[in-house]
Amino acid sequence: MTPLRGQVYRCDLGYGAKPWLIVSNNARNRHTADVLAIRLTTTPRTLPTWVPMAPNDPLTGYANADNIETIGKDELGDYLGGVTPATIEKINVALATALGLPPPRT
């Protein structure tokens, strides 16, 4: 199984099953035993590193780019869907902000 960037999976990392959005690039995802993911939550926060989900995304709530985890592919649970390209663009900006990187070029 090769999870793809932008896909959402439910994972239990020891504190209950939660939704996680894959943010690592697809080449990395193909060649490693794990992925990088950020938490999705229903808790609203107005921070530049929190991205609201769009109506066409698989879940409502927010992507928290401050909460990046390495998750083993064997820990990925149910596939919940993929986020829209517009949401991924906003998440790219949020990740750059969280990591102190220059904003992505559009």
Q: pLDDT tens, 20-61?
A: 999 999 999 999 999 999 999 999 999 999 999 999 999 999
Tens of pLDDT, residue by residue over 68-98, are: 999 999 999 999 999 999 999 999 999 999 9
Q: Are strands 50-52 and 76-82 parallel, antiparallel or unpaired?
A: unpaired
Mean predicted lDDT score pLDDT of the chain: 96
Angle at 26 between CA 23 and CA 30, to 5 degrees: 120
Q: Is residue 2 part of a domain?
A: no
Residue 93, in any domain of the structure: yes
Residues forming beta bridges with residue 95, ordered by sequence position = none
Asked whether residue 105 is domain-assigned, the answer is no
Q: CATH code at 28? A: 2.30.30.110
What pLDDT shows up at residue 90? 97
Asked, for residue 62, whether it belongs to a domain, the answer is yes
* 106 part of a folded domain: no
Residue 36 belongs to some domain of the structure: yes
pLDDT of residue 104: 83
Total of domains in the chain: 1
pLDDT at 1 over 80: no
Q: Average pLDDT in the 96-101 region?
A: 96
| pLDDT above 80: residue 106 | no
Find the domain containing 77 and state its range.
Answer: 7-99
Give a yes or no: residue 91 inside a domain.
yes
Instruction: Provide the pLDDT for residue 103.
Output: 86
